[in-house]
């Protein structure tokens, strides 16, 4: 999977939080059960690699928010 390798190279990591079903309806996703989301280091972009559509969003609305890690706070 070349696209997934590319995402890793540019700093994307698997998103481990909960994702609401609304995002799949927004993208009119044919296979929401296959959703696999990645988030970039800056936490400004979410990329789905669950199918060949590779949906992407910068909207946190449907993604579980996390408190910043201690290393994030210090810089």
Provide the pLDDT for residue 70: 54
Global pTM reads 0.81
Locus of tokens 């989301």: 37
20-34: pLDDT as tens digits:
999 999 999 999 999
State the Cα torsion 38-9-68-61 to the nearest 10°: -30
Predicted pLDDT at 28:
96
Beta-ladder partners of 56: 47
């Amino acid at each position: 999977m070349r696209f997934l390798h590319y995402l890793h190279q540019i700093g994307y990591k698997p998103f481990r939080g909960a994702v609401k079903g609304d995002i799949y309806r927004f993208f009119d996703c044919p296979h929401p059960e296959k959703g696999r989301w990645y988030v970039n280091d800056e936490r400004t972009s979410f990329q789905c690699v669950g199918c060949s559509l590779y949906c992407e969003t910068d909207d946190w609305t449907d993604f579980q928010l996390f408190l910043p890690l201690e290393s994030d706070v210090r810089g």
